[in-house]
A and B are shown apart, each in its own frame.
Chain A
Amino acid sequence: MTSTTSTAEPILEVTGLVKHYPLTRGILFKKQIGAVKAVDGVDFTLARGETLGIVGESGCGKSTVAKLLCNLERPTAGSIRFKGEDITKLSGKALKAVRRNIQMVFQDPYTSLNPRMTVGDIIGEPYDIHPEAAPKGDRRRRVQELLDVVGLDPEYVNRYPHQFSGGQRQRIGIARGLALRPEVIVADEPVSALDVSVQAQVINLMDRLQSEFDLSYVFIAHDLSIVRHISDRVGVMYLGRIVEIGRDAEIYDHPTHPYTQALLSAVPVPDPEAREQRERIILSGDVPSPTNIPSGCRFRTRCWKAQERCVREVPALAVPAVFRDTSGPAAHASACHFAEEKQVVPAEDS
């Protein structure tokens, strides 16, 4: 077992996933002058019943990964195996069947719901696309059941989205995601637009639904604290790639990749006493453009440890040689030539 895979049989297996958007110039005669390398070689697995968190700063390719997983975009290269079958090669009926099983919950509960549709129509819409999932006469009852499951009054079916608060709208989005009884839910920043007290309500709901419906989650967020709370394993993305992946304690308490270490050290911790104990790693500069990814290690332009080798050689996402023969928490996949442990999050005190 390497750390990019987990023990149980994977429900999703992503290998070498790439999505490049062509960058063109000219209106009449479009000429490709480059590519936005939004996703540039991503590997991970998701075990049944597990939550894999994906973190990273804006623009690193998280949403693109989500769209690829849900078949809303076609990859440029790579494969996505759902229970062993590569879904990127499917079309027609077979594709439709797989789509039922992988559903997305979007970030913005304000813009992702059609304002002119009733809540009942929004939640029931997946049944129009997949009529085999629920007989027509049964739909209203199912929608009401879903409202109940996510903690909303089933009597609300005829209301419109604007009559709900942000947190309630996110519940509607989740109910819609559950309509087809999927096995995998890909949630792209599902609580980022919500206030903290409401955020907690939605996170707790997702926790409960996971065990109730035996769901596997890919949970995408830029908030590292939330991701730790909900995830079993965590992958850290930078410029279109996962640079470090492992169990939550491996990543948070024993990070070995400099980017993960910097990211964690920058998160403000709501405890004024922890502030003195913490070492902040302040990265210089900005993330490079995904149209122009640095050679070798893509993090090297901001890495305080970068050396000549980092310019020439792409570090692979694997357990670094120094930790390969150890069995401790540092022995997880990290794409760095000079990986070493550094504790940046103060140890738990309570």
Chain B
Amino acid sequence: MRGADGALLEVRDLKVEFRTRDGVAHAVNGVSYEVDAGETLAVLGESGSGKSVTAQAVMGILDTPPGKVTGGRILFQGRDLLTLKEEERRRIRGAGMAMIFQDALSALNPVISVGDQLGEMFVVHRGMSKKDARGKAVELMERVRIPAAAQRVRDYPHQFSGGMRQRIMIAMALALEPALIIADEPTTALDVTVQAQVMDLLAELQREYHMGLILITHDLGVVADVADRIAVMYAGKIVESAPVRDIYKAPAHPYTRGLLDSIPRLDQKGHQLYAIKGLPPNLMHIPPGCSFHPRCPMARDVCRTDEPPLYEVSGTRGSACHFWRECLDDLDDLDG
């Protein structure tokens, strides 16, 4: 539900740093986004762009130290999470928001049966008896369509296939019916046919429970299939934010456009793929001005000195490019 005064989750100007021996990595540099109940926000970006770190800060599971939130606010159902005590945050984790990770095998405890792991949620958070909790565990396993749930509730994680384990992760996340789920590359490790099963399940459950969903991924195909809105991240910033259809039709940032043009299409036999030149920046030395300028085919002098704010493209779209108008207009000739 959208509270009287705002979205389910509102991240405002979040900044996260990692202090390491080699220097300070500026992993998140002023990220803002919102998620409403029932909405799916996809956070898209290449590896190292700060997607997971942002999510970890929201969940309160940042690796601290070396990581540290150095600025911003995280409002969840109207409360600023960064001002809460750890005990209070722990209560919110699980009951208020839950996370699904890419690698289910390392996120689940290998020596505890899946039934006990699922049941524990109810024992700890809801004070249920072990027996009732086991019944709940079977129910959840059935919800995520694990065949023969009652027989398999005593099995250990390694006894399930990759796709089934990811269903168990989803069941864990759903257990306490949280208002928000953050799924960090939930299907990246799975084969396409299994990926499709798992994404369909996740989308269906989200609709049913009317949850907010943050879907972190680097796969533009997965995003197109399930998201309502997209936030594109680059070097710890959101460079473009828009409803999903708009972005695929006409990206308003050269980075988004480069990404879209660099993927081969299943339905099109392409020739030369567009390749974004160069590499993402070292987060210890982010280029001044627009951090994308060394790779941008549209860069000019002002880009090397002035950092673009997130310009308002329309009521529902934003782009952190000084020349977003040109990018929108200029649909065809991106020079290689």
Q: Which residues of A contact B (CB under 8 A)?
A: 57-58, 165, 167, 195-201, 203-204, 207, 222, 224-226, 228-230, 248-249, 252, 262-275, 280, 282-283, 285-286, 345-350
Contact = CB atoms under 8 A, between A and B. Distances in A.
7 contacts: A201-B275, A222-B191, A228-B264, A228-B266, A286-B161, A286-B163, A286-B164
A167 B48 CA distance: 14
A197 B266 contact: no
B205 interface: no
A271 B263 CA distance: 12
Interface stretch (B68-76, B78-86, B106-114, B219-227): B219-227
Contacts of B273: 200, 203-204, 229
B25 interface: no
B225 A268 contact: yes
Contact of A270 (B196, B248, B276): B248
Given A270-B221, A270-B248, A275-B224, A57 B46 contact: no
Given A203-B273, A229-B270, A282-B200, A270 B223 contact: yes
B192 A228 contact: no
Interface string B273-285: 1111001000000
Given A268-B225, A270-B263, A274-B267, A196 B196 contact: no
A272 B245 contact: yes
Contacts of B274: 200
A47 B235 CA distance: 44
Interface stretch (B10-18, B254-262, B304-312): B254-262
Given A195-B218, A270-B248, A348 B268 contact: yes
User: Nearest 10 A-B pairs (CB), nearest first?
Assistant: A268-B221, A229-B264, A200-B262, A57-B191, A197-B276, A266-B196, A200-B275, A270-B220, A200-B273, A195-B46
A249 B269 CA distance: 9
A196 B221 contact: no
A268 B218 CA distance: 13
Scoring B46, B267, B272 by chain A CB atoms within 10 A of each residue's CB, the highest score goes to: B267
Contacts of A272: 224-225, 244-245, 248
Given A167-B279, A200-B274, A347 B224 contact: no
A68 to B, nearest CB: 22
B194 interface: yes
B195 to A, nearest CB: 7
Nearest to B266: A225
Interface string B122-157: 000000000000000000000000010000000000
B13 to A, nearest CB: 27
B314 interface: no
Given A198-B275, A225-B264, 12 more contacts: A195-B46, A196-B263, A201-B275, A225-B263, A249-B269, A262-B193, A268-B221, A271-B248, A275-B225, A280-B196, A282-B196, A346-B267
Contact of B276 (A57, A200, A224): A200
B64 interface: no
A282 B279 CA distance: 37
B265 interface: yes
Interface in B176-217: 191-197, 199-200
A195 B295 CA distance: 15
A199 B270 CA distance: 15
B230 to A, nearest CB: 10
Nearest to B244: A272
Given A196-B220, A269-B224, A228 B269 contact: yes
